[in-house]
Each structure stands twice: as structure tokens, then as C-alpha cells.
Amino acid sequence: MRTSQGMTLIELMIGLVIVALLLGIGLPAFNAFIANTKLRSVAEGLQTGLSLARSEAMRRNSNVEFVLTNDVVDLGTFADAVPAANGIHWVVRLVDPATGVPALVEGKSGAEGTGRASGGSTVLTAASNPSIFFRGLGGTTLGATATFDVSNPQAGACHTVATPSPIRCLRVQVSVSGLIRMCDPATAAPDTRAC
């Protein structure tokens, strides 16, 4: 009597069908996870730049500007960076009160500052105020709260109560007093993640 070693063709086919089903079920969830991770990366990059500008203003007791821009950020061009509501780069610059000439504190290009490149970007930013001045005591020159909405239309619509979606768009808010927080516009109060 010989013992069988290996699998039959039917057993192999059943195994492949099970693997295909598991991949079919898990792949959409994995894609949503990747899209939400990209969104969070961009929002955290903006939050980091804004926090840097505020802390630098308080450290130096001087006005420091955060600028969201589409202009390339480098040592030669940071002073000429023009604010853009849908910018892919950001720069933090100190404004010298004596001369009015800006000095570079830090700048990030799209790939590292907001998690996206200038070419085929999927994550979008919409800023109500692409340029924010922080004062020496940490407050801003804003008249109302500034918002930076981060979305990924290519991955799908943002989650709302009316249209549920796995894509959770984020918002970074800067209050007049200079407080910076990230929140979820689709979350309702009293949840601490609500805007």
C-alpha cells in the first residue's frame, strides 16, 4: 500500500479559490487604509509646519509667517513664495522687524511637507488662509479661525452622515489665539475628534 504525498488538483484549486476570496474581501479595506494614511500624513505635515511657526514666533518673540505655496521652496526663492490655497509646499519664515526682510526658518517640498508630489497628486489641500502670521506671544493676526481641509477625491468621497464612506477627510484648524488642532469634519460633538 502506497501513501499519498502532495495534493490533488482539486485540493489545489479549492485552496486558490479561498485565497482569491480572502484577497477580494481584504483588498478594498486595505486600499481605504492606504488612502486614509496618506490623508493623515498630509494633515500631520501641515500641523507640524504650523506648530513650528508658532513655537518659533514664541521663541524669538517676533512675527513668524507660515505660507502654503505652489512655489518651489529653497534658499534662493523662499522670500518670494506666493501663498496658494491649494499649495503643495510650505515654508516658515521669520520677518525681521527692523528690515522687513524674511529669513528662512524651515521649508518643505510637497513630497516631504504635505506627503504629495507636484505631478499626479491625489491628496488635495484647501486653505481658507494660506498665509498665517504668528505673533511673539503665540497668537495670530487672523480675524477668524483658519482651516486647511485635506481630501483625496481620487480615493473616493469624504465620509459624511448622509453618504458613508471609508475615506475620512481631515481638517487642520488654527484659532485666532494660535491654537492648532486636527479634527474630522464628519464627526459630531461631543466626540473630541469633531471640528
Under a CB-based contact definition with an 8 Å cutoff, are residues 110 and 88 in contact? yes
Helix (H) or strand (E) holding 153: none
Range of the domain at 106: 9-183
Whether 190 is in a domain gets the answer no
Q: Which of these, 182, 183, 179, lies nearest to 55 by C-alpha position?
A: 179
User: What is the Cβ-side half-sphere exposure of residue 122, based on CA atoms within 13 angstroms?
Assistant: 15
Whether 172 is in a domain gets the answer yes
Whether 4 is in a domain gets the answer no
Whether 140 is in a domain gets the answer yes
CATH number of the domain residue 65 falls in: 3.55.40.10
**For residues 149-165, b (16+ Cβ closer than 10 Å) or e, as one string?**
bbbbeebbebbeeeeee
Model pLDDT, residue 1: 62
Whether 74 is in a domain gets the answer yes
Whether 30 is in a domain gets the answer yes
Count of domains for the chain: 1
* Confidence tier at 112 by pLDDT (50, 70, 90): low
Whether 194 is in a domain gets the answer no
- In angstroms, rounded to a whole number, what is the distance separating the alpha carbons of residues 131 and 85? 9
* Confidence tier at 2 by pLDDT (50, 70, 90): low
Residue pLDDT, tens place only, 132-163: 999 989 999 998 999 999 988 887 788 877 78
Residue pLDDT, tens place only, 64-97: 999 998 887 777 778 788 898 888 888 999 877 7
Q: Which of 39-43, 99-103, 114-118 shows the lowest mean pLDDT across its residues?
A: 114-118
Mean pLDDT of the chain: 84
Residue 184 sits at φ, ψ, to 5 deg, of -110, 110
Model pLDDT, residue 24: 85
Does the structure show a pLDDT above 60 at 114? no
Residue pLDDT, tens place only, 6-61: 778 888 899 999 999 888 888 888 888 888 888 888 889 899 999 999 999 999 89
